[in-house]
Structure 1
Amino acid sequence: MAVSETEVFVCNNCMINADIYDLWLKGNSVSEATKHQQNKVSLKKFGATLDDLQSDIVDHYRLFAGLEEMLKTPPRLNHQLMYQFDPETVHMLIQKYYCFDASVMREIFGRKLGTRSRKDLDDISEETGVAVRSVRRQFENAKRVFKTVEELSGRLVDNIQSHYCLHEDLAKSYAAVVFISNNRFETGKKKLNYLSFEDFAACANYMISHWSYSSEECQHHEDMDVDMDRDFLLDLREVKVLMEREYAEEHRGLMLRALQPVMRERVLVEMDNNFRSISKTIITIANGLNHSKESRDIFIDIYEKLIEPWLLMSWTKADAKVFLTAFKDTALQLDVFRSNPKLVKVWERYMATFTPVVLRMYPR
């Protein structure tokens, strides 16, 4: 009698319904999630009842609650034995847990990420239309990432990726949150309401790339790049030489010659008439970066003292770009720069970030 052989494979991998996970992350209750899924799934097709659907969602929510503590320290998910997930599922769980609504993070930006800020979560929920449970998760994630990396040496994005297993784009977004919060930059003024989270994040990442300890020009890469490079900020004081009458007049003359072929006549006249005040503003902002009280106002200073006057003079974003490019290049033609290579590097390092920050902030 022939004996048949049967191979049996037993697997206890946990299955995650990504749609239900999204509903949980958005702060939906079980009943809200059930109603949402009822409208999306044909129960008759699967021979299921509404109670079956709700029971399934309850099971998923219980699983997510059990996973949440591990999600707070993502590397644990790769080493725990309680739940069996394939690598793709682990990646999805982590990335989605740390994703956020840009409108919520825009409100969190610049706030002190401490316990007292939690009283504002209801207001943020009402302002953004995002469920308060989701707002709380996003706030706690930002706070947790900040606390983890604020004292670590090395590149901020690398630290966030290694501790939270996030893809680079998401890590850069959190780096911007950490950098702006650590430096207490003012982002909540009414005049800055037109700027989005993405605008501030782009500006913060420009600063991290050129003004922090992770900048290629920095000599102390081992230091924390949640802070700006202190040596660079001290050296920036030397650019005040551009405010001296002799160099200011020469700089103005070089600007007129450089811009005459490329700038509209009306804009050129306004530039000429206002050059001293514009130059003083750019240099004063540079000097103020060395003082925490003044550096906190960099965004509002750029808007009120540069962008707002330029808008009143009908300057376009293109006009601003042409001016700032020429302002940087013509300064390098002055003898005081040509005889001081160190000053040249400091000036180029400053303007390499200042110019794109101003242009990113310039209303479209």
Structure 2
Amino acid sequence: MSTYVDVFVGNFVTIDTDLYDMWLDGLSALEAAAVLQKQGVLQSMGARPDVLQKQGVLQSMGARPAVLQKQGVLQSMGARPDDLLSDTQDNYRLFMGLEKLLKWPSKLANQQIYQIDADTQKMLIDKYYQFDPVVVREILGRKLSSNTRKYLDDVCEKTKVPLRSCRRQFDNLKRVFKTVEEMLGSLYQNIQTHYLISDELAKQYAAIVFITNHRFETSKKKLNHLTLDDFLVCADLMITNWSYSAEECTDHEDMDVDLDRLFLQDLRDLKLLVEKDYMDEQKSFVIQTLRSSFKRRKLQDLDENFKNIMKAIINIAYGLNHSKEVRDFFVDLVEKLIEPCQQSGWTCEDIENFLVVVKDAPQHIAAFRNMPNLNTVWERYMNAFIQCTVKLYHT
């Protein structure tokens, strides 16, 4: 059952959430009225709403025709389709008036045209900034430019989401990105402060802004199976562990839309782990630790490919220092680590167990224990890397 919020500005004003959803979905007023008619809104009605309004019946009920129709009050009163269309158009004019404020939500609370309570404002804002994952998945990683906006015709055709809705979602992403891209401090907090959206939605927008800022490659064929949620979870992990908002970072006032530069520089020292002496010690520790949980064939495969796997992990870390390698993070992770392990028959549990042991292995190397800063950098890197790998490891 839909909900209706009564708002008083001299006359009785109603926010029809069903129509608001249809407006956000990109349906025209005519299309929305047709949907309502198919739902039986006009069935078995005996008197037109405009007649009842002249008679003072609607005023005494304190509601608009569309609301009473949906609540069944006007059953056996028989309104005409053009009455329903007229009321739908009235709602749409209200939504279009509100849209000018919704683009800058802080203005909604301070304006005097629409006296709307706080809960209703929150509902209007959150719904306006919600998005279809399939639409954003198509846009993700692209530059938020006029050229990409022209691409929305293809997005509409591919996702079956109306073009009006695709444009609203794109324009919202672009507006949020332009607002916060150069702001100091937390992406999440900046977005929530300026757009007043829910915690979860602000977190998702922060991840999208982060991916857009770094121009991560997300559209290559070998990534087609990955969902928007896969990318957003990984981006959030990077923000939490590798950006300026990470606990280990000493400069929290910088922009966490960027990766922590000092951390990236320290990652170069991880090359130490692929030197032969260190590699042999790690390999021995890892295989011995996994002996009880890995079957013999998988242990043999690990013994043969351990060096290549470790080089892939370290090279991805090292590559974060270079913009091209950063953009290819997801491609490299899938191509150089996930696919080879999948081809060897590893399960998601196998790869997680392996990476956890790999993360712990340097602590058992005497020379490495004498370098506490490097150990901290390694753990900071692996905390996000493990979870990203597990998230993307579809089997």
TM-score by length of 1: 0.96
1:32 counterpart letter in structure 2: E
Aligned pairs (5 A) from 1:208-219: 208-219=239-250
1:260 counterpart letter in structure 2: R
Contact between 2:264 and 2:321, CA under 8 Å: does it hold in 1?
yes
Contact between 2:152 and 2:166, CA under 8 Å: does it hold in 1?
yes
Aligned residue for 1:14? 13
Aligned pairs (5 A) from 1:256-271: 256-271=287-302
Q: 2: CA distance between counterparts of 1:337 and 1:70? A: 57
Match of 1:229 among 260, 280, 284: 260
**Which range moved further: 203-212 or 111-120?**
111-120
RMSD: 1.2
2:201 counterpart letter in structure 1: L
Q: What secondary structure sits across from 1:329 in the alignment?
A: helix
1:136-179 Cα shifts (integer Å, max 9, x gaps): 00000000000000011111111100000011100011011100
Match of 1:292 among 308, 323, 333: 323
Contact between 1:13 and 1:85, CA under 8 Å: does it hold in 2?
no
Contact between 2:269 and 2:374, CA under 8 Å: does it hold in 1?
yes
1:59 matched to 2:58: no
Q: 1: CA distance between counterparts of 2:332 and 2:362? A: 22
Q: 2: CA distance between counterparts of 1:152 and 1:95? A: 22
Q: 1: CA distance between counterparts of 2:9 and 2:358? A: 70
Aligned pairs (5 A) from 1:18-33: 18-33=17-32
1:283 matched to 2:314: yes
The offset of 1:262, in angstroms, is 1.9
**Paired residue total:** 356
Q: 1: CA distance between counterparts of 2:361 and 2:9? A: 73
Match of 2:236 among 191, 205, 215: 205
2:358 counterpart letter in structure 1: F
Q: 1: CA distance between counterparts of 2:200 and 2:367? A: 41
The offset of 1:272, in angstroms, is 0.7
The offset of 1:42, in angstroms, is 2.7
Q: 2: CA distance between counterparts of 1:162 and 1:112? A: 24
The offset of 1:39, in angstroms, is 1.9
Q: What secondary structure sits across from 1:351 in the alignment?
A: helix
Q: What secondary structure sits across from 2:151 in the alignment?
A: helix
Percent identity of paired positions between Structure 1 and Structure 2? 52
Q: 2: CA distance between counterparts of 1:292 and 1:121? A: 27
Contact between 2:9 and 2:114, CA under 8 Å: does it hold in 1?
no
Q: What secondary structure sits across from 2:244 in the alignment?
A: coil
Contact between 2:362 and 2:369, CA under 8 Å: does it hold in 1?
no
Q: 1: CA distance between counterparts of 2:333 and 2:294? A: 22
Q: What secondary structure sits across from 1:16 in the alignment?
A: strand
Aligned pairs (5 A) from 1:1-364: 11-12=10-11, 14-43=13-42, 44=45, 45=72, 46=74, 47=77, 48-364=79-395
The offset of 1:17, in angstroms, is 0.2
Aligned residue for 1:6? none
List structure 1 segments (4+ residues) > 6 angstroms apart after TM superposition.
Answer: none
Contact between 1:12 and 1:84, CA under 8 Å: does it hold in 2?
no
Contact between 1:70 and 1:77, CA under 8 Å: does it hold in 2?
yes
Q: What secondary structure sits across from 2:364 in the alignment?
A: coil
Q: 2: CA distance between counterparts of 1:248 and 1:10? A: 73
Q: 1: CA distance between counterparts of 2:363 and 2:134? A: 41
Contact between 1:13 and 1:86, CA under 8 Å: does it hold in 2?
no
1:16-62 Cα shifts (integer Å, max 9, x gaps): 10000011101101111011111224322523221111011101111
Contact between 2:9 and 2:115, CA under 8 Å: does it hold in 1?
no
Contact between 2:362 and 2:375, CA under 8 Å: does it hold in 1?
no
**CA 1:10–1:325 in structure 2 vs 1: closer, same or farther (change >3 Å)?**
closer
Q: What secondary structure sits across from 2:26 in the alignment?
A: coil
Q: 2: CA distance between counterparts of 1:175 and 1:107? A: 17
2:175 counterpart letter in structure 1: R
Q: Which runs of 5+ in 1 are unaligned?
A: 1-8
Contact between 1:13 and 1:84, CA under 8 Å: does it hold in 2?
no
Q: What secondary structure sits across from 1:332 in the alignment?
A: helix
1:279-330 Cα shifts (integer Å, max 9, x gaps): 0000000000010111110101011111111111111101101110011101
Higher relative contact order (CA closer than 8 Å, sequence separation 6+) = 1
Q: What secondary structure sits across from 1:153 in the alignment?
A: coil
Contact between 2:176 and 2:191, CA under 8 Å: does it hold in 1?
yes
**Which range moved further: 45-54 or 59-68?**
45-54
The offset of 1:11, in angstroms, is 4.8
2:228 counterpart letter in structure 1: F
Contact between 2:185 and 2:245, CA under 8 Å: does it hold in 1?
yes
